[in-house]
Structure 1
Amino acid sequence: MKEKLSRAARASKSVYNAGGEHYHFNMGCMEVGDTRFLAAMQEEIMEKQKLPFEDAAVAAAAEFKMMKRLESGEERFKSLRERVPAPAPMATPALRGVLA
């Protein structure tokens, strides 16, 4: 139970941390338009990651699309999480001898 609460807290914190950046992404798109903001993302990736134009374009487009997908509320990851089976619990060292 404690581990479940800990995972939930870590996941919630990551959402909170991502919220600020998502806000600025949205505001940037609203203020200058999607096309100009995407071009700015590409420029930044080229400069900071030292990528060629083509690779920066692919990286920027993928990131842009993911940000827009998160806004849509499609719940892709929720349904994925529900479909992926949990791994079998690992036996503790004391139980390994019993189970062997």
Structure 2
Amino acid sequence: MIITTTNAVQDRTVAEYKGIVFGEVITGINVFKDLGAGLRNVFGGRSKGYEEELTKAREEAIAEMGDRAAQLGADAVVGTKMDYEVLGSDNGMLMVTCSGTAVKLN
């Protein structure tokens, strides 16, 4: 499955638009990652735990979107957009969403 942020796939033409597809992931950040991030906030530096969780959530959202496009018979998803939000009363949840247009290519 080709997934791209562009509106076209190089050297290919869109034969059919299958519809808009989405991928959504909501994940919790555990107390140990919160403690590590808190220390990073005080002393500076990158939060590896949060970065790993964000990468994992992003990859899962893209894979879910690709799976939904494949169920429609698409070859690609074009015009992909990503969004990130924090949720929950203590901002302890991370939501990653992506959307794009599933297409059949020539």
* TM-score above 0.5, yes or no: no
**Greater C-alpha radius of gyration:** 1
Which structure is higher in strand share? Answer: 2
If each structure's helix is expressed as a fraction of its own residues, which one has the higher value?
Answer: 1
